Structure 1
Amino acid sequence: MTKSNIEIRTRDGVAKAGLFGTGPNGCGVILYMDAFGPRAALDAMASRLAGQGYLVLVPDLLYRSGPYGPYDAKTAFSEEKTRGELMAMISGTTQAMSQRDTAAFVEALDSAGARGPIGTVGYCMGGARALNAAAAFPERIAAAASFHGGHLAADTPDSPASNAAKIKARVYVGVAGIDQSFPPEQSGRLAEALRRAEVDHIIENYVGMRHGWAVPDHGVFDADGAERHWRRLTTFFGEALRG
């Protein structure tokens, strides 16, 4: 699938991004990356999604930190130096920053030929950002998905659970069965918040999967679990964006 390397001007600087797909594809999708930066593994995932007929944007969410990585997803958090670098960049990029950036991401998709509703999907740290994007732009984002996203129902004003009342999109959350960043009590709080907000949603537990299972260069990647994630995501976007 064709990839174009582009630069997106935001309120805080310039974010590099990969754009996958050709021509006016109707629906655009923003893929919110995990912590390790844009790289071949995410390119392959975006290309596969673009093969379904979507125009897919993969922006660098950590661009404010200047040049970095990409990091080895198998070892970055186990090595003290790279772990410190990653944690500093992640903590320095707030949910509010990513929500502001999303306005520019939507404009980039529009300029590339996307029309109509937009979908978002996020992995790991990108999961909460994909859901919060739907809260920030309810008039454009019609489908928002998170896979092994962390802290989705943290007791903070910027968690997706806290912003559930602003979401008009359909929501899918694929939960890692073993994930300290999203324990069962948070899953329950998120489900309650979405139900109270009357958000059309599914929260699905991938039993035995670990945080990061769906991304192919993670050490805990699970091929069967990843294919299950692709089936769910393809169906979800097909129904919510094209239905």
Structure 2
Amino acid sequence: MKELKKEDISQEVFDLYDDYAHNKMDRKEFLQKLSLYAVGAITLPALLSFISPNYLDSISVKSNDPRLKSEFITYDSPKGGKKIKGLFSILKDTTKKLPGIIVVHENRGLNPYIEDVGRRTALEGFVTLAPDALSPLGGYPGNDDDGRAMQKKRDRNEMLEDFIAAYNYLKTHKDCNGKVGVVGFCFGGWISNMMAVKIPDLAAAVPYYGRQPSQENVVKIKAPLLLQYAGLDKRVNAGWSDFEIALKENNIEHEAHFYANVNHGFHNNTTPRFDKEAAELSWERTITFFNKHLKG
């Protein structure tokens, strides 16, 4: 069987997967449409396997990395007395309080990719907390399809409150110096934008391909923003023009980067939407930004 490569796949397949991943169609419709691209040596199972996340071979910082103390904790969230589970990570050899970063998952719960991002960020000298918004429903179920279905059952504004509670938990943690930022991806990008709206003393926010807040909410933002967008992401990028105008009109510190010819999810190294060059450059910018605003 031919080994599939990214260049073998048409852009329409990535767009189709994006629609499916963002609940624009159910799995049956997705597979029916995907089958149209299974031609010649490319079978439907091979195509489906290729575009699905591969967590087993993609983790860059293992859960037992000897440089880190990385463990699951729980914290209280205000809606209904919920307990939220999150992955807490910090350098083992640190002797001082560190700035904190909340790491916010996509629309499928705290999967291995986001856990990995939490650990990567901790290795840069931050104390990190990566919450699982699926905690009230039992937590991330072990696969993204079920995770998406579960997350659809939760109200997004209640989940926002869960992440704000994570900020409050980390800000007052004994290992944190009180400066806390947020980085989030997709749904987590929207959460990052909204945390900037809702938290006056948020130190910095880095939304990756996240939906923008309404114009009336932009005026409330105090935190500096680093906005990361995928050049091919028409769905999210459609909101940029109005957002940019509002940011400038309200003199909100921000910088935006559009990475040409890459798809929504380009930072996620577990799927073929991953773009190594854009992911590495955007992450370098992210860490530099956090160093400036949380350590400077």
TM-score range, shorter-chain basis?
0.7 to 0.9
- Cα distance in structure 1, aligned partners of 2:134 and 2:225: 25
Aligned to 1:176: 230
- Cα distance in structure 2, aligned partners of 1:238 and 1:57: 17
Task: Give the one of 183, 201, 220 matched to 1:121.
Answer: 183
Q: Is the 8 A contact 1:62 1:93 kept in 2?
A: no
Kindly report which structure 2 residues correspond to 1:200-239, keeping only aligned pairs within 5 A, or say none.
200-239=253-292
Residues 192, 90 of structure 1: alpha-carbon distance in 2 compared, 3 angstrom cutoff: farther
- Percent identical pairs in the alignment equals 25
Radius of gyration: which is bigger?
2
Aligned to 2:295: 242
Q: RMSD of the TM alignment (CA)?
A: 2.0
- Cα distance in structure 2, aligned partners of 1:25 and 1:212: 32
Aligned to 2:142: 70
Letter in 1 for 2:253: D
Letter in 1 for 2:280: E
Return the structure number with greater strand share.
1
Residue 39 in structure 1 maps to residue 97 in structure 2 = no
Q: Is the 8 A contact 2:232 2:264 kept in 1?
A: yes
Residue 107 in structure 1 maps to residue 168 in structure 2 = yes
- Cα distance in structure 1, aligned partners of 2:216 and 2:150: 24
Letter in 2 for 1:10: S
- Cα distance in structure 2, aligned partners of 1:43 and 1:67: 13
Q: Secondary structure at the match of 2:236?
A: coil
Q: Is the 8 A contact 1:142 1:240 kept in 2?
A: yes
Aligned to 1:15: 84
Q: TM-score of the superposition, structure 2-length normalised?
A: 0.70
- Cα distance in structure 2, aligned partners of 1:235 and 1:130: 18
Aligned to 2:13: none
Aligned to 1:156: none
Q: Is the 8 A contact 1:10 1:104 kept in 2?
A: yes
Q: Secondary structure at the match of 1:210?
A: coil
Kindly report which structure 2 residues correspond to 1:128-167, keeping only aligned pairs within 5 A, or say none.
128-139=190-201, 141-149=202-210, 151-152=211-212, 159=213, 161-167=215-221
Q: Is the 8 A contact 1:21 1:55 kept in 2?
A: yes
Higher relative contact order (CA closer than 8 Å, sequence separation 6+)? 1
Q: Is the 8 A contact 2:132 2:139 kept in 1?
A: no
Letter in 2 for 1:164: V
Task: Give the one of 70, 88, 104 matched to 1:3.
Answer: 70
Q: Is the 8 A contact 1:38 1:59 kept in 2?
A: yes
Q: Is the 8 A contact 2:97 2:174 kept in 1?
A: no
Letter in 1 for 2:204: A
Structure 1, 103-112 or 33-42: larger mean CA deviation: 103-112
Residue 97 in structure 1 maps to residue 151 in structure 2 = no
Unaligned runs of 5+ in 2: 1-67
- Cα distance in structure 1, aligned partners of 2:196 and 2:139: 28
What displacement does 1:216 show? 1.6
Unaligned runs of 5+ in 1: 77-81, 153-158
Letter in 2 for 1:165: V
What displacement does 1:162 show? 3.8
Q: Secondary structure at the match of 1:29?
A: strand
Letter in 1 for 2:169: A
